[in-house]
Amino acid sequence: MRHIPLALTYDDVLIIPKRSTLFSRSEAITKTRLTKKVNLNIPIVSSNMDTVSESEMAIAMARLGGISIIHRFMTIEENAEEIKRVKRAQNFIVPDPYTIDVNKTVGEAKRFIAAHGVSGLLVTSGDRRLRGILSKRDFVFVKDDNQFVEQVMTPREKLIVGGRNTNFVEAKEKMMMYKIEKLPLVDENDFIIGLITADDIKNLTEYPLANIDSSGRLIVGGSVGVHGDYLERAQELVKAGADVLVVDIAHGHSEMMFNALKNLRDKCGDAQVIAGNVATADGARELCEAGVDAIKVGVGPGTICITRLVTGCGVPQLTAVMEAADMAKKYGVPVIADGGIQKSGDIVKALGAGADSVMLGGLLAGTKESPGVIMSRGDKKYKVCRGSASFAVAQRRQAVQQENKNLSEVVPEGVESVVPYKGPVADLVGQLVGGLKSGMSYTNSHTIAELQNNTDFVQITSAGSRESGAHDLIDVK
């Protein structure tokens, strides 16, 4: 008879507490690796589902120390614009600030400012030499929109500027000393080489855990499939500034994936590429050998997944993560545990099983920053949450990407439902990270690497599982 091994998921186990040397959970450091080259300050990634990750979620997640992978169920142009929106949300230095010519009118300037969502413009004349600044306060009381910018701007001789070597601290000091909100940077010939804004400095101070790139821009990922427009999409996403690319298909341990990875390497050079999903050591090994920069693990554990019901395939998530992570470790490739995380304890278990970060879908759907409208029924509020392989998303792909697919042949592996409205994602992530840090303290782990090494699990019974939640209380409605 064939041997059938046992595989477990998060609810099947608990972590054995250990003597702890942490005096407070604030000593637990949540910094981790997303890919070989990209780090995160908290190990949380928002899923590339169309009810979870667009630019609003991505800006919030990166500021909190995580990252979002923006979904791909939109045109390539829209997809690139979503990435650019995140990259423009904050900067250390704006390398190519918007400018306006001295001879344009105030009306033209107002329209430009409104269209680009900025609070002011640097003024030039025919070249990139700085002639002044036009801020809203310069024209707020100007009645005649036909006046020229030159007549109302703050001229060059009154401006405080920085140079090539102006750093964050110096810029902040100048802004405080002169009570200014914009510091243009110019070279020896007064040509504009950048701009530092007070908003950007405020953001850098307000979000100390924010994950930023070398220019101070928030980091963000984009996702692609393995056929159709995926190569063109990948190139446009990288051009728009995506820090990582996720090649995301339901069965990532497949020939189609390996072909796509080869093509992506040819076209996108050294982009950081995350591939998945797999659920086995073999799958992890082959992706590592194909040269990926991180692996996404999980076949069927997600909130909205019905892959296991439809196909009979999958591996309970704790075992899948353990086996894939043990293998990936040999190659130095980070692992993302994707799906099935319902509570902070599951994050501790996923990382304890060897993952470097977790990807969340259903848990983040329903937050203020997730795409979609809030629906009210009685006194309750909801938002939609749906699987990427649901019928609703197949319809969206058909409409947006003009896929030539007969919808009656679609076999959905995901469902569409609603989740309670949860308010700002920062509150939820705060609770998750708090729980993670407590879990690190119970296991005597100062770092995620220690958590990966220190975790010993016990398998529990249904009685142990019942005992683990609040129980034997009166439910007062």
- Residue count at the site for ligand XMP (CB under 6 A)? 25
Nearer to ligand XMP, 156 or 251 (CB): 251
Does residue number 283 form part of the binding site for ligand XMP (CB under 6 A)?
A: no
Task: Name the segment binding ligand XMP (CB under 6 A); options: 148-156, 166-174, 301-309, 425-433.
Answer: 301-309
Does residue number 222 form part of the binding site for ligand XMP (CB under 6 A)?
A: no
Per-residue b/e over 197-228, b at no fewer than 16 CB within 10 Å?
bbebbebbeebeebbbbeebbbbbbbbbbbee
Can you say how many angstroms the Cα of residue 391 is from the centroid of all Cα atoms in its chain? Answer: 25
Does residue number 138 form part of the binding site for ligand XMP (CB under 6 A)?
A: no
The two tokens of residue 179 are: 């009570």
Spatial distance between the Cα atoms of 71 and 362, rounded to a whole number of angstroms: 14
Per-residue b/e over 399-426, b at no fewer than 16 CB within 10 Å?
eebeeeeeeeebebbbbebbbebbeebe
Does residue number 370 form part of the binding site for ligand XMP (CB under 6 A)?
A: no
Does residue number 252 form part of the binding site for ligand XMP (CB under 6 A)?
A: no
Task: Name the segment binding ligand XMP (CB under 6 A); options: 138-146, 158-166, 192-200, 354-362.
Answer: 354-362
Shortest spacing between CB 112 and ligand XMP, in angstroms: 39
Strand order in the sheet with 154-155: 99-101, 120-124, 130-135, 154-155
The two tokens of residue 428 are: 């939820």
Shortest spacing between CB 398 and ligand XMP, in angstroms: 16
- Pick the catalytic residue from 268, 305, 313, 385: 305
**Cβ contacts of 10 within 8 Å, gap of 6 or more:** 317, 318, 340, 341, 342, 345, 346, 349, 350
Does residue number 221 form part of the binding site for ligand XMP (CB under 6 A)?
A: no
Query: Of 97, 300, 354, 366, which lies in the binding site for ligand XMP, with binding defined by CB under 6 A?
Result: 300
Does residue number 363 form part of the binding site for ligand XMP (CB under 6 A)?
A: yes
Which position's Cβ is nearest ligand XMP? 414
Does residue number 413 form part of the binding site for ligand XMP (CB under 6 A)?
A: yes
Can you list the positions of beta strands (E) in 332-433? 335-338, 357-360, 375-377, 380-386, 416-420
Does residue number 366 form part of the binding site for ligand XMP (CB under 6 A)?
A: no
Question: Under DSSP, is residue 257 helix (H, G, I), strand (E, B) or coil?
Answer: helix
Task: Name the segment binding ligand XMP (CB under 6 A); options: 2-10, 15-23, 295-303, 446-454.
Answer: 295-303
Spatial distance between the Cα atoms of 98 and 91, rounded to a whole number of angstroms: 14
Site for ligand XMP, residues 41 to 100, rule: CB under 6 A: 47, 49
Query: Of 241, 302, 316, 439, which lies in the binding site for ligand XMP, with binding defined by CB under 6 A?
Result: 302
Sketch the per residue contact string, 379 through 398, with ligand XMP: x for CB under 6 A, - otherwise.
Answer: --------xxxx--------
Does residue number 247 form part of the binding site for ligand XMP (CB under 6 A)?
A: no
Please, where are the H alpha helices in 227-316? 230-240, 255-268, 281-289, 307-311
Shortest spacing between CB 413 and ligand XMP, in angstroms: 4
The two tokens of residue 446 are: 């100062």
Question: Under DSSP, is residue 416 helix (H, G, I), strand (E, B) or coil?
Answer: strand
Which one-letter DSSP state was computed for residue 212? B
* Active site (annotated) includes residue 313: no
Shortest spacing between CB 294 and ligand XMP, in angstroms: 14
Shortest spacing between CB 275 and ligand XMP, in angstroms: 12
Sketch the per residue contact string, 307 through 346, with ligand XMP: x for CB under 6 A, - otherwise.
Answer: x------------------------------xxxx-----
Nearer to ligand XMP, 73 or 207 (CB): 73
Question: Under DSSP, is residue 386 helix (H, G, I), strand (E, B) or coil?
Answer: strand
Query: Of 322, 327, 348, 359, which lies in the binding site for ligand XMP, with binding defined by CB under 6 A?
Result: 359
**Helix then strand then coil, % of the chain, to nearest 5:** 40, 20, 40
The residue to which tokens 């190990």 are assigned: 43
Task: Name the segment binding ligand XMP (CB under 6 A); options: 53-61, 218-226, 294-302, 374-382.
Answer: 294-302
Shortest spacing between CB 80 and ligand XMP, in angstroms: 22
* Cα-Cα-Cα-Cα dihedral sign, residues 259, 260, 266, 271: negative
Q: What are the catalytic residues?
A: 305
The binding site for ligand XMP (CB under 6 A) comprises 47, 49, 277, 298, 300, 302-305, 307, 338-341, 359-363, 387-390, 413-414
